[in-house]
Amino acid sequence: MLPGPAEQPVRGAFALPAGTVGERRVIAGVVLAAGLSRRMGRSKLLLDLGGRPVIRRVVEGVAGWGVDDLVVVVPPDHADLAAALTGIRHRLAVNPAPESGQAGSVVAGIAALGPAVRAALIALGDQPVVPRAVPLALITAYKATAKAIVAPRYRDGRGNPVLFDASVFPELLGLTGDAGARAVIDADPARVALVSFDLPMPPDIDTPEDYETLRGRL
């Protein structure tokens, strides 16, 4: 694995000693939370949504997906984000150059994972209302198939979160730019399992209008 960017352990963080998990498939959650919120004009992940910051809603949700490790990728200036996550078991990984695009956050999150991790569920920090049934179905499909990538297919197309087997981690570590992990998913359709959901794609929060719409639903 390539050397990773600065990683900051937090109180109550997960610990996965290498060599102690046997044949169990250790699955990590990786939350991408280093975006610059350019279209919002302020830190969207700290906005209040139903009495909690957006990022706290997201990370609490991912913590309930049955993951064995939880990494939150943050920008260098992340004190407010860290404070918003107080009391949640997680680890922080820093994307040193979030202005370079989402790929840097994917790289930071994957590089922070230990050798015991066999798969990673990558989630977006600005998607706070992903139904729990979605990641649980992805994990079930991963365990039941030999596919290296498992992604949800909503009524309006393929979306997030996406589960990646450790066999594709080297490709994720080589990503650049702002396309995120899309290139890795598209590289070989034969290794991708799509799990269909009769649901609209979970909304993300990019603009003030997105925020007001979602806030009105909660």
**Structural domain spans, the chain:** 7-11+26-217
Report the pLDDT value the prediction gives residue 187, as an integer from 0 to 100.
95
Q: What is the mean pLDDT of residues 188-204?
A: 97
Report the pLDDT value the prediction gives residue 6, as an integer from 0 to 100.
39
For the cut 60, the answer to whether the pLDDT of residue 12 exceeds it is no
Q: What is the mean pLDDT of residues 204-214?
A: 90
Report the pLDDT value the prediction gives residue 127, as an integer from 0 to 100.
96
pLDDT digits (tens, 9 = 90+) for 77-92: 999 999 999 999 999 9
Q: What is the mean pLDDT of residues 2-25?
A: 42
pLDDT digits (tens, 9 = 90+) for 81-137: 999 999 999 999 999 999 888 999 999 999 999 999 999 999 999 999 999 999 999
CATH homologous superfamily of domain 7-11+26-217? Spore Coat Polysaccharide Biosynthesis Protein SpsA; Chain A (3.90.550.10)
In whole angstroms, how far apart are CA 63 and each of 46, 59, 139, 169, 186? Answer: 18, 6, 14, 21, 28
Residue 130 or 179, more confident: 130
Residue 89: what residue type? R
Average pLDDT, the chain: 88
For the cut 60, the answer to whether the pLDDT of residue 23 exceeds it is no
pTM for the full predicted model: 0.88
* Rounded-to-integer distance, Cα 67 and Cα 81, Å: 21
Report the pLDDT value the prediction gives residue 4, as an integer from 0 to 100.
35
